[in-house]
A and B are shown apart, each in its own frame.
Chain A
Amino acid sequence: MTNDKKLFRGFSRRDLLKSLAGVPIIGAVWYAGLSNTEKAKLEREFLLEKLNIKATPPPASGPMSGEPLRVGLIGFGIRGEQLMRSLGFATNEWLEDMAKSALENPNDKRLEDFKAQENLNVKLTAICDIFDVRAEKALRSFNSNGNSCKRYKSHLELINSGEIDAVIIATPDHWHAPMAKAAVEAGVHVYLEKPMTHTIQETYELRDAVTKNPDVVFAVGHQHRQTQSFLTAMDAISKNTLGHISMIMTTTNRNDDNGAWQYEIHPEASTATIDWNEFLGNAPKIPFNAEHFFRWRKWWAYGSGLSGDLLTHDYDRINCILKMGIPKYVTASGGIYTHRDGRNVPDVMHINMEFPDFTTGGSQEAGKEKGMTMVYSATLGNQFDRGTLLMGHDASMELGNTLSIYADPRSTKYREMIKEGRIDPKVPIYQYDPSANGVDAVTSATAKYFADKGLLWTYRDGKRVDSTFLHIREWLSCIRNGGTPSCGIQEGFEEAITAHMGGLSYKLGRRIEWDEANEQILALPGEDLDAVLLNNEV
């Protein structure tokens, strides 16, 4: 002990101060760090509690147990192949390509994701494609692992074969309704690609057929209904986070061949390998044309251009969130400005949809706010991402696979909080990014376009999931366990009518009106709207 005392004998108060000078600095820095994080956390929690937005995933669709469902496919093109992978069936060629690609790029998880995908307990028993090369490719790949798949030369043979319980239709637009109607009337469950129909008349007929066959489960392929950010958006809107929404801006921004429907023309395409008459169906009879076959989206005779092909995605994304239904008025304009290659559908297009009686609720005095415009603005000549914006009096929502909400500087609802400095209109008051910790491999500009819209994949428990897989699973679950698909005949009806109104307005150059009471698009005396819609000369 005496030694210890001796040790400190030469130690002055000044020495002690110099030894321990760092301690108060540590105290100050630590306190500042702790209190600043706590304060930020409290502000955040205060705001989140105030907004009360729930980012909960929807209940998973029911079990896939029981006898395997027998599924048939009509149309094994680009989309058909994607749908089959979501169903659990990939071609040998795709598997090889993906294995190679994963070796070159470790971020490419497409093969890994596919292999990890849940087994949906289905048999792919039947396939119909009128191009031999595609049909044979399917048969080569899908007659293995205990699955036996047969080719049918026509869709009617497939539907009436007795070998299928359900059918997936991924054909050109002009075949959607005739095939779906035949299947529904034969008691076969239907998953139909968008747009639901090609003409106005078909839209009513298909709805009648589905209504008359309530045992048939009918779903339209708007897979983004499974995207979690949209479900979060629905919750935000139901809590009146945005106030009265007067304007919605949706866009298509593409600048590549694939995005402009310039798909590859297969070298083996000929009248010997393609059943041309079966392709034409109700379309005008013309001699064999390989470009029309592979790039059918470029002609009104088979496709429906931006209004049917891409507006439908954006319209249904918003209809899924707001349930605003068919617009009262539609005005469209545009032209063929970026791809003057013989196509007759526009490649630049604006469609203004008016909902004069619609409101999402508001924060100002009753009666001041009512009505909304949704703008769809598209170009196939530039891919600057203009995003999707829902603009309310109190806040704006940027919507994609991520979701951000910014308070409006002139908001009534957030006025006090903005004044107190608790809300900065430049910083999102709410942000939802399920992939915040991940970087996803996107393979092409068009893939990025779809991914940003939440059309390629979504997230469950932080894991990336193919939204088409979830959408097909939901349809299969409704077949097995009962229930109604999130995008059924009513949603499809609204989507199709809206798209047709867009196409009509573009072609007629005037405002198109929907008579809600009579469920009719108003025509001038003697005017055949379907003839206008299908007219290849305009």
Chain B
Amino acid sequence: MSQTIKLTTAQTSGLVILRLFVGWHFLYEGVIKLYSPSWTAKGYLLSATYMKNFFQWLAGESMISIVDTLNIAALLIVGLGLILGYKTKLVSIIGIGLLLMYYFAHPPFPGYPQGITEGSYWIINKNLIEAAALMVIFLFPTSKVLGLERLWAKKNVQASTT
């Protein structure tokens, strides 16, 4: 497991692009919700088809405003982290957590109501695929190639050589 794989420039670029695209998607979702004061996840949670008790508890009077705030904050943090290339491992995990929540509230399991979707899904849907993409981002960090973490990396290199 400790074996380091040397990636080609093209492979690294591909990973960077994946990271930026996922970050872009998270950030845009976060910004739209941030500036739409009437937005709430309540409807999505209340209409959950799986783990209903948990999601309906989240949608309850006492929880929903915290849930909404945390959701927006998490979307923004994941988006900013991935695009800037800062704490990408941590924000990948947060992002996976968020996507799994979206996924399990309305999973495309056989026999479960699918509601209105723009495509056809069976067990795997775009939320789950994006979560898998974040797993790749987590496993192949690229923020030292392109991202704020390059600053620290360079600093450390310089500090150790002088």
Chain A positions near chain B (C-beta within 8 angstroms)? 6-11, 15, 18-23, 25-26, 29-30, 32-34, 36-38, 41, 106, 436-439
Q: Determine the distance from Cα of A7 to Cα of B84 in the docked complex, in whole angstroms.
A: 21
A6 and B154 in contact (CB under 8 A), knowing A18-B146, A38-B35? Answer: no
Question: Among A23, A30, A41, which residue has its beta carbon within 8 angstroms of that of B84?
Answer: A23
The answer to whether B83 touches A25 (Cβ under 8 A) is yes
Q: Determine the distance from Cα of A386 to Cα of B157 in the docked complex, in whole angstroms.
A: 72
Chain A nearest CB from B65 CB (Å) reads 11
Q: Determine the distance from Cα of A231 to Cα of B20 in the docked complex, in whole angstroms.
A: 50
Chain B nearest CB from A31 CB (Å) reads 9
The verdict on B5 contacting chain A, using a C-beta distance below 8 Å, is no
Chain B nearest CB from A428 CB (Å) reads 15
The answer to whether A37 touches B36 (Cβ under 8 A) is yes
Q: Determine the distance from Cα of A30 to Cα of B35 in the docked complex, in whole angstroms.
A: 10
The verdict on B40 contacting chain A, using a C-beta distance below 8 Å, is yes
Question: Among A18, A21, A26, which residue has its beta carbon within 8 angstroms of that of B27?
Answer: A26
A21-B146, A26-B84, A30-B27 given; name 16 further pairs at CB < 8 Å: A7-B155, A7-B159, A10-B157, A18-B145, A18-B146, A22-B148, A25-B23, A25-B83, A29-B31, A30-B31, A33-B28, A33-B34, A34-B31, A37-B36, A436-B43, A437-B43
Listed by A's residue number, 19 A-B pairs whose Cβ atoms lie within 8 Å are: A6-B162, A19-B147, A20-B148, A22-B83, A22-B84, A25-B83, A26-B83, A29-B24, A29-B28, A33-B27, A33-B31, A34-B31, A36-B32, A37-B32, A37-B35, A37-B36, A38-B35, A41-B36, A436-B43
Contacts of A6 in B (CB 8 A): 158, 162
Considering the complex, give the chain A residue whose CB is closest to the CB of B83: A22
Number of B residues with CB within 8 Å of any CB on chain A: 34
Contacts of B157 in A (CB 8 A): 10
The 6 A-B residue pairs with the shortest CB-CB distance in the complex, in nearest-first order: A33-B31, A37-B35, A22-B83, A22-B84, A19-B150, A439-B46
Write the B26-55 contact mask toward A (1 if CB under 8 angstroms, else 0): 011011101110001011001100000000
The verdict on B79 contacting chain A, using a C-beta distance below 8 Å, is yes
Contacts of B147 in A (CB 8 A): 18-19, 21-22
The verdict on B96 contacting chain A, using a C-beta distance below 8 Å, is no
Q: Determine the distance from Cα of A36 to Cα of B32 in the docked complex, in whole angstroms.
A: 8
Considering the complex, give the chain B residue whose CB is closest to the CB of A21: B146
Write the B3-32 contact mask toward A (1 if CB under 8 angstroms, else 0): 000000000000000001001100110111
Chain B positions near chain A (C-beta within 8 angstroms)? 20, 23-24, 27-28, 30-32, 34-36, 40, 42-43, 46-47, 56, 79-80, 83-85, 145-148, 150-151, 154-155, 157-159, 162
Question: Among B20, B31, B42, B154, which residue has its beta carbon within 8 angstroms of that of A15?
Answer: B154
Q: Determine the distance from Cα of A41 to Cα of B27 in the docked complex, in whole angstroms.
A: 20
Contacts of B158 in A (CB 8 A): 6-11
Chain B nearest CB from A8 CB (Å) reads 8
Considering the complex, give the chain B residue whose CB is closest to the CB of A25: B83
Chain B nearest CB from A418 CB (Å) reads 25
Considering the complex, give the chain A residue whose CB is closest to the CB of B25: A29
Contacts of A41 in B (CB 8 A): 36
Chain A nearest CB from B159 CB (Å) reads 7
Chain A nearest CB from B43 CB (Å) reads 7
Question: Among B31, B83, B148, which residue has its beta carbon within 8 angstroms of that of A19?
Answer: B148
**Of listed B24, B32, B35, B159, residue having the most chain A CB within 10 A:** B35
The answer to whether A29 touches B27 (Cβ under 8 A) is yes
The answer to whether A33 touches B32 (Cβ under 8 A) is yes
A437 and B42 in contact (CB under 8 A), knowing A18-B146, A21-B146? Answer: yes
Q: Determine the distance from Cα of A11 to Cα of B159 in the docked complex, in whole angstroms.
A: 12
Contacts of A33 in B (CB 8 A): 27-28, 30-32, 34-35
Considering the complex, give the chain B residue whose CB is closest to the CB of A33: B31
